[in-house]
Chains A and B, each alone.
Chain A
Amino acid sequence: MARKSSHKPTTTTNKLAPRTLILDNGAHTIKAGFTSSATEPDVNNDCHIIANCIARSWRDKRTYVGSELLDECWDFGELAFRRPVERGFVVNWEGEKAVWERSFVGQRSRLQCDPHETNLILTEAPNAPAALQRNADEMVFEEFEFATYYRTPSPSLNAYTPSPFLSPSPAPGVPLECVLVIDVGHSHTTITPLYNGRPINPACRRLEIGGKTLTNHLKDLLSRKVEVKNEDWIVQEIKEDVCFVSGSSSFASDLERVWKGGLKDPRAVDTSIVVDYVLPDYETVKRGFARPHNPNVSRKEQALGLDGGPREHIVTIGNERFTVPELLFTPSDIGMQQDGLPGTILQSLHTLPEGLRQPFLANVLVVGGSSKFPGFVERLEAELRMLVSDEFVVRVGQAMDPVKNVWLGGARLAQDEGLLKERVVTRQEHLEHGDVWTRRRFAGKVDR
């Protein structure tokens, strides 16, 4: 590869490396995988999920970096996390470098690659500060020395995936014409209208509630009953197992059903919503699970195993099941001065000319790990329907695999060699022209 010979200014050589590594660099997990232009990307086999964190376990007295967490750790109790990605952007490159090296550059990793022979497609969160973009570019080219590189805001890649609304999916490399991407991620939720795969920048909005906020809120609510201040991982599992989004008019009635009543009017709690969650202790119970509420057993007896059953630590979860995801629709519940998700979508649409609103409203794509709550898509569609005039068609669809969808878009983009060649910047070009040129290339300002 012509990376050291800077006296050859021509770009006529074939500059694409044989393999492409697509990294969807999220705050919670990295979705990583290789593609080559020969084969169709397969989401289930090619895309690996790597936890993007450095975790220290007091019980095992060892530190897990990146992919080791899901591969080797079996005792997730009292796990302390440090995340190199803050608010969606990679801030701590020391930690991120350790995670990347452990996950795909080193010898022990499952995904092995030599950066000198690999193209890289890296995603970042939208509206990034310029200094962080420069840091990322410099790290990729000067530290890891990838052959070519393309950095893009992560919602843009969703335009290259098959749409849930069109039955014949477009060929790889052909973006969807109009799609409004709602990415409910770990650090925040972003709303990005995409036109032919390019984001309409004045209309991008960000809601500062994400999976992390929901987990922390659930931790606060559960710590009224059980001591979970140190247990990030367990609370996250509880959130994924048990929480759901109530229907658009049933939040109040759901809350009524789980109320125990006042002093003068005690009520029977509706046991179809209240759930007993068995906490994992990683000796007998390796993974927590939920079961319907049994009000007749004393908690203490159950914990000590006195009542004849196995020793179990149980926490009863009632209204937390649906008040926690409600935060996405009503952030004012905790006092946050932002409008909920449907209101923010309307704010984004109001900046667009009137003629563009209908196409975007009819193609709302929901991705992101935190959108997997049962009832989320129906609630969002109902709320949008209420806020928008009757003459508009509103269609909200969720991607087939909300977590890996961005990766899939990147993989399909990489299959189209011509498109990829237009977009990437080679290492030689970066070293010649400098980082400002590279950044403007990625923003679409400089043509080849």
Chain B
Amino acid sequence: MAAGPLRFRTPHIEELPITQSRQAPGFAWVAVGGPPEDPSKNWGTTNRKRARASAGGQTDAQKEALSARQQKEIERKIRDLNNDNSKDVQIPIPKKEGGGGGGAARAGKTQNTKKILASGKTFAHYLDDEEAEIARTGRREGDVEIVAAPVMMQRPSKTPIARRKATEDSSLDSSPAPTLPIHQGMRPPPVRKPSVTSTVDAMDLDQDEEADRSIPSEAEIEALLSAPPLTYNQARAAPPPCSAPPPRKFCEVCGYFGRAKCMKCGAMTCSVLCKDTHDEQRCLKFYA
């Protein structure tokens, strides 16, 4: 009950110190936290675009990293592309005519060949066997030299060689710019041969004294040549360096550059016409 004169409870206003110490003429720039910072404002929107925007925006890394499901989808598509036998056809091999010793010959003449002809192993089996063997013994069958004995390899490593050395020499992965990086720390630098032949002088560029551009000696070349062959997984090409442009996306319907992403299924289309076709015929989330 207002017994006395009206008194309004005014909010407590206090000037907060700001980082800027300069005396501005009447206004100041103040950092304001983005609009919906508290989750209660973002109550259950199913619209992923709004949810992403309201969560304070995404860093570049988050935008690049695809969700796990999309990644698996891409890997499945690539496996299909590299598929040898379409749809796993089973074609029985026709019998030869004139097969006098046909039965015995088809099964193989010796024990070894019988086993080889009857085995149903695929390439993936052989690869896994090889990796398991290396993980177990540290060397391949038939190699005399011990391939760098892996100490703590739990699982066979599938990273290609270029990536494994990435920690040692990260300058390799920097931009594929014209100048070659200087390999100081990568391996013991080749011994400077004072007796370089005259043909090599043309290549021994004086500008760059650190890099030894002369042709390496016979011993080094011999060492390179007698190195053991890489395993199948080690010889894979490595991913592009981080400075490469991001992967291009193409329209699903016509093949032009993709410009807009379907909000439901994530497929790219290039124009409104293609988007309509996509929504009618190809969107996977049509019924969902």
Residues of chain A at the chain B interface (Cβ within 8 Å): 27, 54-56, 62-63, 65, 80-83, 85-87, 89, 91, 93-95, 97-98, 101-102, 106-107, 126-132, 134-135, 138-139, 142-143, 187, 195, 198-202, 204-208, 212-213, 216-217, 220-221, 224, 230, 232, 252, 255, 258-263, 318-320, 323, 330, 332-340, 343-344, 346-347, 350-359, 387-391, 436, 439-440, 443-445
Among B74, B81, B272, contact of A216 (Cβ-Cβ < 8 Å): B81
* A106 surroundings in chain B (CB, below 8 A): 96, 98
- Measured between alpha carbons, how far is A350 from B183 in the docked complex, in Å? 9
Note all chain A residues with C-beta closer than 8 A to B14.
none
Task: From B81, B117, B212, B248, name the one whose CB has the most chain A CB atoms within 10 angstroms.
Answer: B81
A86: B residues at CB distance < 8 A: 84, 122-123
Q: Which residues of A contact B162 (CB under 8 A)?
A: 205, 347, 350-351
Chain A neighbourhood of B129, CB < 8 A:
129, 131
Q: Considering the chains assembled together, what is the distance between the CA atoms of A355 and B224 in angstroms?
A: 13
A216 and B116 within 8 A (CB): no
Give the B interface residue count (CB, 8 A).
90
Interface 0/1 of B203-218, CB less than 8 Å to A:
1010000011111100
Residue of A whose beta carbon sits closest to that of B273: A263
- Beyond A134-B141, A199-B229, 15 extra complex contacts between A and B, CB < 8 Å: A82-B91, A93-B116, A98-B93, A138-B112, A143-B117, A206-B235, A208-B237, A221-B255, A263-B272, A319-B254, A334-B78, A343-B237, A343-B244, A353-B224, A444-B226
Assess whether A334 is in contact with B77, with CB atoms less than 8 Å apart: yes
> Are the CB atoms of A207 and B271 closer together than 8 Å?
no
Complex Cα gap A389–B176 (Å): 10
The yes or no answer to B24 lying at the interface (CB within 8 A) is: no
B178 interface neighbour in A55, A138, A347, A390, Cβ under 8 Å: A390
Whether B140 contacts A130 by the Cβ 8 Å rule is yes
Cβ contact within 8 Å between A128 and B232: yes
What residue in chain A is nearest B277 (Cβ atoms)?
A224
Which residues of chain A have C-beta atoms less than 8 A from B226's C-beta? 444-445
**Closest chain B residue to A186, Cβ basis:** B84
The answer for the CA separation of A24 and B203 in the assembled complex, in Å, is 37
Q: Are B213 and A127 in contact (CB under 8 A)?
A: no
- Least CB distance from A29 to B in Å reads 15
Query: In the bound complex, do residue A202 and residue B255 qualify as a contact, i.e. CB atoms below 8 Å apart?
Result: no
Task: Return A376 CB to nearest CB of chain B, in Å.
Answer: 18
Q: Taking chain A's interface residues, is the majority helix, strand, or loop, or is none over half, making it mixed?
A: mixed
Q: A91-B123, A259-B254, A332-B247 are in contact. Are A343 and B176 (CB under 8 A)?
A: yes
B53 within 8 A of A: no
A93 x B141 contact (CB < 8 A): no
B231 at interface, CB cutoff 8 A: yes
Contact present for A443 and B83 (CB under 8 Å): no
Contact in complex: A138, B113 (CB < 8 Å): yes
Q: Contact at B220–A353, with CB atoms within 8 Å? A: yes
Do residues B116 and A355 form an inter-chain contact, with CB atoms below 8 A? no
Cβ of A350: which chain B residues have Cβ within 8 Å of it?
162, 172, 180
**13 A-B pairs whose Cβ atoms sit less than 8 Å apart in the complex:** A82-B90, A106-B98, A142-B109, A200-B227, A204-B229, A205-B160, A330-B248, A333-B247, A350-B162, A350-B172, A351-B161, A355-B200, A444-B226
- Closest chain A residue to B117 by CB distance? A94
Contact of A95 among B77, B93, B172, B232 (CB under 8 A): B93
Tell whether A445 pairs with B144 under 8 Å between CB atoms, given A334-B77, A354-B183: yes
- Asked if A142 meets B180 with Cβ closer than 8 Å, knowing A195-B221, A262-B270, A356-B216, the reply is no
A137, closest chain B residue (CB): B112
Known A132-B126, A335-B74, A353-B220; contact A195-B236, beta-carbon cutoff 8 A: no
On whether the beta carbons of A388 and B178 are closer than 8 Å, the reply is: yes
Interface flag for B56 (CB, 8 Å): no
A206 partner residues in chain B, CB cutoff 8 A: 232, 235-237
With the chains together, A87 CA to B233 CA distance in Å? Answer: 12
Q: Which of B96, B172, B250, B273 contacts A323 (CB 8 A)?
A: B250
| Least distance between A443 CB and chain B CB atoms (Å) | 7
Q: How far is the CB of B129 from chain A (nearest CB, A)?
A: 6
A391 to B172 alpha-carbon distance, docked (Å): 19
Given contacts A138-B112, A436-B141, contact A213 B247 (CB under 8 A): no
The interface residues of chain A lying within 8 Å CB-to-CB of B90 are: 82
Q: B residues 156-211 with Cβ under 8 Å of A?
A: 160-162, 172, 176, 178-180, 183, 190, 200, 203, 205, 211
In Å, the complex CA distance between A320 and B170 comes to 37
Q: Is B108 an interface residue (CB 8 A)?
A: yes
Which of A27, A127, A130, A332 makes the CB contact (< 8 A) with B141? A130
CB of B240 within 8 A of CB of A335, answer no
Q: How far is the CB of B4 from chain A (nearest CB, A)?
A: 69
